[in-house]
Structure 1
Amino acid sequence: MSNTVNTRSQPGLSTTQRVAVSTGAVALVLGVWQLSGTLKWIDPLLLPPPTEIFQTTVDILADGYRQVSLWQHIWVSVLRATVAFAAAIATGIPLGLAMGLSQPVSAVLEPFVQFLRPLPKIALIPLTVVWFGIDEGSKFFLIYISCFLSVVVSAAAAAVGVSKNRIRAAQTLGANRYQVFTRVVLPNALPEIFTGVRLSIGIGWTSLIAAEMVAANSGLGWMVINAGTYLRTDVVMLGILLLGGIGYLFDLALVLLQRTFVPWAGRDA
């Protein structure tokens, strides 16, 4: 008898139970974090407790940080990232699908994509300043290129992964190339494309700090970097929490879009 456990047959947690478990885990971590500061287990300069970060949040909401309101810091970063993400998705998915469906296109582009994709984007900062100056163009480019390359790779892999038997079956039934693409390739590739886009946006969002190193005077990434130079770890932690929370909201929005436009994702074939 096989010792393999069929995990699908095991009962899972309901939505309410999952929320309760997640809430309890977060509360536990926050409680231990607060105790570590209150009882001086860790120097508050190194890790400010949640109550201190909350008070810092209230102060910055009232007075801003470096003469810029907190909402403006958030808005600037979100706007920069959103524009870059939209451009990367709009250009990366078609190019990736073309690479996945055409071997000549893949042979031409893959060396460049695979060379640039693992390259640390912070290394491109001197070139982006020379190419685009110190205005928004350089910041847009750094976020865009970080996201774009991963979108291309994921879209290409999704196209290659479409079952050849399904394509042959459609061709046998008389489907032309356009019909094969729209009714077979794209529906089967979309779930993996969405997964790749989620990962790519995570990568692009993390590059925000690198982008805002380029002569910025606002934005969450700039706020974190600037506060670090003055040992304002409370502001640094606030910025980190905001970056993580906004990144989570980006991912949640994509999950909702996937459930709306690709409801068959995750279902058995």
Structure 2
Amino acid sequence: MSRLSLPHRALLGAVSVLLMLLVWEAASRLSLVDALLVPPPSEIFATAADLMRDGYRQTPLWDHVLLSLARSLAGFGAAIVIGIPLGIAMGMAPVFGALIDPFVQFLRPLPKLALIPLVVLWFGIGETSKILLIYLSTVLTIVVGAAAAVSQVRRQQLRAARALGARGFTMFRFVILPAILPDLFVTVRLAFGIGWTTLIAAEMIASEAGLGWMVVNAGAYLRTDVVMLGIVLLGATGYALDLALVGLQRWATPWAGRS
């Protein structure tokens, strides 16, 4: 199967986005949709200009973006630091994995919104509770993905490495790690998407700033233009971070996808 080059993919993506914006704008101008409920792109751009100049609720727009980004990256970074080693340990030590797996599988499907009352009760309404909620929504996905990646390492590779004298850290560094890195990056990307979508729920915990808070607050005042702008910024920021992860993956695993 032939693949599109990166410039061609970017061009086609840009064209599709432009066409969507034009159709959206035309539908609003022709009164095919209610502009009060679904503001056209031109109004959202105008709102963005106003908020960059005046801020939203006495907070500059970029402060909302940066605060949400900091909360998300803090929780997600902690999930990576803890989740990847724990998942690898579960995959490499079957007894340890069997002991931990029931707790992981029990907690992983729990709706993280159900944890908000306990998080607030235990950690208050400060930044810790928001970061913790993002951490909880991502860490178990990373654990499961890392454990599964280790279990998929081909036994032939391990036997061949042992025959050549590889043991312990040498085995992990030169055989297991290169084999699981592509799958780890996929897991990290999926987990980041989950954590980013949890951001709004996290910022509902007595926040006064942040993109999630801005969307919820604007919705309460029927400011659909601000709501749509917040959604656009959430999507664009998440997309940019995902592209950064893809770039890091290509740099760290240049062998991935090559037969």
Q: Same fold (TM over 0.5)?
A: yes
> 171, 174, 177: which is aligned to 2:165?
174
Corresponding residue SS for 1:187: helix
Determine which of 231, 238, 246 is the counterpart of 2:222. Answer: 231
Residue 16 of structure 2: aligned partner: 25
Cα distance, 1:84 vs structure 2: 1.2
Query: Are the structure 2 counterparts of residues 177 and 16 from structure 1 closer, same or farther at C-alpha, using a change threshold of 3 Å?
Result: closer
Among 236, 247, 262, which residue is 2:253 paired with? 262
Residue of 135, 145, 151 corresponding to 1:144: 135
SS at the partner of 1:149? helix
2:127 equivalent to 1:113? no
CA displacement at 1:90 relative to structure 2: 0.8
Q: Does 1:205 align with 2:196?
A: yes
Distance 1:128 1:225 in 2: 20
In the alignment, the residues of structure 2 paired with residue 137 and residue 189 of structure 1 have an alpha-carbon distance, to the nearest angstrom, of 32
Rounded Cα–Cα distance in structure 1 between residues aligned with 2:189 and 2:10: 22
What's the CA shift for 1:30? 0.4
Q: How far apart are the structure 2 equivalents of 1:185 and 1:197? A: 18
1-side partners of 2:171 and 2:104: how far apart? 27
Cα deviation code 1:77-120 (max 9, x no counterpart): 00111111111111110000001111111111111111111111
**Paired position in structure 2 for 1:56:** 47
Higher deviation after alignment, 199-208 or 167-176: 167-176
Matched with 1:72 is: 63
Q: Distance in 2 between matches of 1:238 and 1:180?
A: 49
Deviations 1:52-76, CA, capped at 9 Å, x for gaps:
1011111111111111110110110
Task: Describe the SS at the equivalent of 1:175.
Answer: coil
The separation in 1 between residues aligned to 2:92 and 2:7, in whole angstroms, is 43
Of residues 83, 90, 93 in structure 2, which corresponds to 1:92?
83
Structure 1 segments, 4+ long, off by >6 Å, are: none
Instruction: Work out the percentage of aligned pairs sharing the same amino acid.
Output: 56
Residues 141-173 of structure 1, C-alpha deviations (whole Å, 9 max, x = no match): 000111111111110010000001110111111
Aligned to 1:43: 34
Partner of 1:4: none
Q: Which runs of no fewer than 5 residues in structure 1 stay unpaired? A: 1-6
TM-score (norm 1): 0.94
Q: Counterparts of 1:193 and 1:233 in 2: how far apart (Å)?
A: 38
1:201 and 1:247 map into 2 onto residues whose CA distance is 9
Q: Per the alignment, in what secondary structure is the counterpart of residue 83 of structure 2? A: helix
The alignment of Structure 1 onto Structure 2 pairs a total of residues equal to: 259
Partners of 2:120 and 2:247 in 1: CA distance = 37
Between the aligned partners of 1:266 and 1:223, the Cα distance in structure 2 is 41
Distance 1:147 1:88 in 2: 6
CA distance in 2 between counterparts of 1:162 and 1:40 reads 57
- What secondary structure sits across from 2:190 in the alignment? helix
For normalisation by structure 2, the TM-score amounts to: 0.97
The whole-number CA distance in structure 2 between the counterparts of 1:155 and 1:19 is: 30
What is the CA–CA distance in structure 2 between the aligned matches of 1:163 and 1:157, rounded to whole Å? Answer: 12
2:205 corresponds to 1:214: yes
Cα deviation for residue 14 of structure 1 reads 3.4
CA RMSD between the two structures: 1.0
